[in-house]
Amino acid sequence: MAELHWQGKEQVQPERISGHLHTRETYNGEASTEDTWQNRLIQGERADVLMALQAEFTGRLDLIYIDPPFMTERNFMSGSQLAYSDKWQGDLDTYLQWLAGTLRLLHTLLAEDGSLYVHLDWRVSHYARVILDALFGANLQGRGSGFQNEIIWHYQSGGRTTRRYARKHDTILFYTKSARYCFHGERIGEKRGAQKRNHMRKETAEDGSVYWSIASNGRTYRYSEESIMTPADVWSDISHLHQRDPERSGYATQKPEALLSRIILASSEPGDLVLDCFSGSGVTPAVAETLGRRWLASDQCNLAIAATRARLLALPARKPFIVQEIKDT
């Protein structure tokens, strides 16, 4: 199988446990007395956090979404304060070593029927895809484990260059650990409707209801206008957060809740465990909470932890959660 090489790849040391999780804050919420689970917001570097979670959560995470640094070579601010630096001095080898180490740890934590979504852009998504193919499987026949989709999140924000086509999409890679995984296109799809959108033939039944039909390989497929279509892998219906968006917290690179809602609804069930180890403004835990999923969220930046804590506390209803940090062992 084709494989990606970078300088230093062969010298990868397995990550070592450098600390343990220490609870520093507890927030009560609505929970039944027999339910002892507490969601967790953890401050820490991703490898430290993911290693510290191994003992308890190996093979137990149902859904992971990550939106890591994209190798933009920029510093990102939250107001006047530095939120995080995405500067790598142009050293792609170092970045790939870091990304591959993260993806390996996530693969270990993922449940056998779990799903991973990795959010990147034009800079490194193609490298990530080859690394993920090696870890999960390239799934070239399309029916197995590993690669499921390259989702294109197309938006309109930002300026337009005159030097090339304007870069207006992020890439979200969707992988599953096995061929048996949770996916609910019907929860996030839209009705086929009565408007023509492709080459299907329109038929109107005696009662006035509309059907769409198409013949393929000697069979005719027929769909009611009421049937739900699984969304395609190009998403242009979710807007980037604009400056005055009420959802905007001021935290750099904040993603819209609609994006996470779609992913969480499609790839998890209520009560499932969701992880985001680059959780920034807290979009993943906030949406997971609202949709009744359990969650683990972490970030190394104290501004991110503060923004997420405030966001969770502002929710109208919430389960208990704790805030943890990594303490040296």
Ligand X SMILES: C[S@@+](CC[C@H](N)C(=O)[O-])C[C@H]1O[C@@H](n2cnc3c(N)ncnc32)[C@H](O)[C@@H]1O
Q: Pick the stretch among 26-34, 103-111, 267-275, 296-304 that binds ligand X (CB under 6 A).
A: 296-304
Residues belonging to the chain = 329
User: Long-range contacts: 169-173, Cβ < 8 Å, 24+?
Assistant: 169/121, 169/122, 170/119, 170/120, 170/121, 171/119, 171/120, 171/121, 171/122, 171/125, 172/117, 172/118, 172/119, 172/120, 172/263, 173/117, 173/118, 173/120, 173/125, 173/128, 173/129, 173/132, 173/147, 173/149
Q: Total number of residues binding ligand X (CB under 6 A)? A: 19
Reduced to 3 states (helix: H, G, I; strand: E, B; else coil), residue 228 is strand
CB of 22 to ligand X, least distance (A): 17
Judged by CB under 6 A, the chain residues 257 through 276 that form the site for ligand X are none
CB of 285 to ligand X, least distance (A): 10
**Site membership for ligand X, residue 324 (CB under 6 A):** no
CB of 55 to ligand X, least distance (A): 20
Which DSSP symbol is given to 158?
S
Which DSSP symbol is given to 87?
-
User: Does an H or E element contain 128, and which?
Assistant: helix 125-136
CA distance to 82, 119, 133, 138, 153, per residue, from 158 (Å): 21, 19, 32, 33, 14
Between residues 204 and 239, which has the closer beta carbon with respect to ligand X? 239
**Site membership for ligand X, residue 117 (CB under 6 A):** no
Between residues 212 and 295, which has the closer beta carbon with respect to ligand X? 295
CB of 181 to ligand X, least distance (A): 23
Between residues 209 and 239, which has the closer beta carbon with respect to ligand X? 239
115, 148, 176, 253: which one contacts ligand X (CB under 6 A)?
253
Tokens of 55: 């003992």
Between residues 253 and 268, which has the closer beta carbon with respect to ligand X? 253
Interstrand relation of 294-299 and 273-276 (parallel, antiparallel or unpaired): parallel
Q: By beta-carbon distance, which residue lies closest to ligand X? A: 280
**Site membership for ligand X, residue 281 (CB under 6 A):** yes
Relative orientation angle of helices 46-57 and 92-109, to the nearest 10 degrees: 20
**Site membership for ligand X, residue 21 (CB under 6 A):** no
**Site membership for ligand X, residue 105 (CB under 6 A):** no
Between residues 83 and 132, which has the closer beta carbon with respect to ligand X? 83
**Site membership for ligand X, residue 285 (CB under 6 A):** no
Distance CA 180, CA 72 (A): 35
CB of 180 to ligand X, least distance (A): 28
39, 62, 69, 288: which one contacts ligand X (CB under 6 A)?
69
Between residues 45 and 150, which has the closer beta carbon with respect to ligand X? 45
**Site membership for ligand X, residue 278 (CB under 6 A):** yes
**Site membership for ligand X, residue 251 (CB under 6 A):** yes
Between residues 148 and 249, which has the closer beta carbon with respect to ligand X? 249
Closest-CA residue to 109 (of 274, 303, 322): 274
The owner of tokens 């397995």 is 14
Which DSSP symbol is given to 254?
P
Reduced to 3 states (helix: H, G, I; strand: E, B; else coil), residue 50 is helix
Contacting residues toward ligand X, per CB under 6 A = 45-46, 67-69, 83-84, 251, 253-255, 278, 280-281, 283, 299-301, 304
